[in-house]
């Protein structure tokens, strides 16, 4: 057992050094998988849910994963009602309702509309500090494989709009938890 581990460590070191070795080593029970198995079949067609949330948007955050990049819209008071949305590729990102073009970097643009205002409907005070045409507050996309740019469009008549620049037109999925909407964009087809 000890010899197998030493041989595997030596083989790994030689491989890392760029030395070719033509020896097959049997896998041991504790061997880690070499690559993540990524989901397929998401597609790139528009996704829509006509629900109207009872909550307000409080945060937008992102995360990088092995197979996809993720954007999360927090709507904590939604709880009992699903969050409505429209997620689709667009050629140009226009701010709603002004129609002003907002430039988005990347090979393709995904427009995300979440049926939750970025303000409290009763007091009209901001619940999320996004500003039209500006980068999303607190979101840094440096080092992401798929995400390139993210800008706030507007929050108008109970719907918040975001433009997401991605590397290319790639498959995506939309999912919901009780208090957030999740948009995942795959790294590859």
> Which residues neighbour 57 within 8 Å (Cβ) at sequence distance 6 or greater?
73, 74, 75, 114, 116, 117, 118, 127, 128, 155, 160
Instruction: State whether 24 and 79 are in the same domain.
Output: no
Q: 155-176 burial string, b = 16+ CB within 10 Å, else e?
A: beebbbbbbbbbbeebbbbbeb
Task: Give the pLDDT of residue 35.
Answer: 64
pLDDT in tens, 99-141: 999 999 999 999 999 999 999 999 999 999 999 999 999 999 9
Q: What is the CA radius of gyration of the chain?
A: 22
Q: How many domains does the chain have?
A: 2
What is the CATH number for 153?
2.60.40.3500
Task: Give the pLDDT of residue 79.
Answer: 63
Range of the domain at 3: 1-30
The SS3 of residue 105 is coil
Task: Give the pLDDT of residue 36.
Answer: 75
Instruction: State whether 5 and 55 are in the same domain.
Output: no
pLDDT in tens, 161-177: 999 999 999 999 999 98
Instruction: State whether 180 and 96 are in the same domain.
Output: yes
Instruction: State whether 132 and 169 are in the same domain.
Output: yes
């Amino acid at each position: 057992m000890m010899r197998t581990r030493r041989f595997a460590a030596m083989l790994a070191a030689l491989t890392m050094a760029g030395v070719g070795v033509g020896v097959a080593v049997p896998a041991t029970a504790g061997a880690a998988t070499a690559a993540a198995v990524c989901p397929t079949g998401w597609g790139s067609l528009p996704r829509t849910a006509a629900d109207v949330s009872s909550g307000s948007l409080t945060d937008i955050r992102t995360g990088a994963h092995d197979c996809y990049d993720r954007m999360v819209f927090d709507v904590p008071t939604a709880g009992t009602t699903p969050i409505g949305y429209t997620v689709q590729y667009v050629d140009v990102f226009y701010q709603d309702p002004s129609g002003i073009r907002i430039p988005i970097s990347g090979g393709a643009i995904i427009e995300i509309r979440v049926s939750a205002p970025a303000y409290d409907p009763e007091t009209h005070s901001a619940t999320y500090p996004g500003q039209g045409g500006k980068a999303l507050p607190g979101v840094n996309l440096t080092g992401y494989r798929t995400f390139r740019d993210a800008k706030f469009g507007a929050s108008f008549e109970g719907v918040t709009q975001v433009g997401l620049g991605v590397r290319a037109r790639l498959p995506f999925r939309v999912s919901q938890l009780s208090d957030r909407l999740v948009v995942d964009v795959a790294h590859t087809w």
